[in-house]
């Protein structure tokens, strides 16, 4: 597991925790992240992902909902829902290459979800790749 993969895993765990227990204090979450990631760069990366998803959650949920045919967010497994939010955040609000984002999300879905989760996550995130990231990928070959 790469270092950033571990940071994404911690961010996912905190998003899951917050999704199921919305009253969890954000400072408690930060302590939990710090306990799992002692490296400052990884801690900061994981924290930025967590906070970014929280801040952009309405827009992320709307984007996911728009492409998730026959699914509502409330019907999705909490792990899948939060992997999708994390992946959508990185796709839409970071400069991380879309192939890295999707590969990382698939691995998180494989580790924490069901047998169908990786394919489900891949199918939805693939539809959320911004055009400029697709174009950048095709021109860099």
pLDDT in tens, 48-67: 999 999 999 999 999 999 99
In angstroms, the Cα distances linking 35 to 11, 67, 123, 130, 136 are 12, 36, 33, 34, 37
Give yes or no for residue 137 having a pLDDT over 90: no
8-state DSSP, 27:
H
Residue 13: partners with Cβ closer than 8 Å, 6 or more residues away: 36
Domain annotation for the chain: domains and CATH numbers: 3-139 (1.10.940.10)
Rounded to an integer, the average pLDDT of 18-27 is 92
What is the C-alpha end-to-end distance of the chain, expressed in Å? 27
8-state DSSP, 2:
-
Digit-coded pLDDT (tens) for 68-126: 988 999 999 999 999 999 999 999 999 999 999 999 999 999 999 999 999 999 999 99
State the number of CA atoms in the 13 A half-sphere of 114 facing the CB. Answer: 7
> Which position has the higher pLDDT, 138 or 26?
26
Banded model confidence at residue 140, pLDDT cuts 50, 70, 90? low
Task: Give me the pLDDT at residue 134, please.
Answer: 78
The Cα 29–Cα 4 span in angstroms is 18
């Amino acid at each position: 597991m790469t270092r950033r993969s571990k940071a994404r895993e911690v961010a996912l765990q905190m998003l899951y925790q917050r999704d199921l227990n919305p009253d969890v204090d954000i400072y408690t979450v930060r302590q939990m992240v710090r306990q799992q990631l002692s490296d400052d760069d990884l801690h900061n990366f994981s924290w930025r992902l967590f906070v970014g998803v929280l801040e952009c959650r309405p827009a992320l949920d709307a984007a996911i909902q728009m492409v998730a045919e026959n699914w509502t967010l409330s019907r999705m497994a909490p792990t899948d829902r939060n992997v999708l939010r994390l992946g959508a955040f990185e796709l839409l609000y970071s400069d991380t290459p879309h192939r890295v984002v999707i590969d990382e999300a698939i691995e998180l879905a494989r580790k924490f979800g069901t047998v169908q989760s990786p394919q489900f996550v891949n199918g939805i995130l693939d539809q959320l790749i911004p055009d400029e990231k697709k174009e950048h990928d095709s021109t860099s070959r």
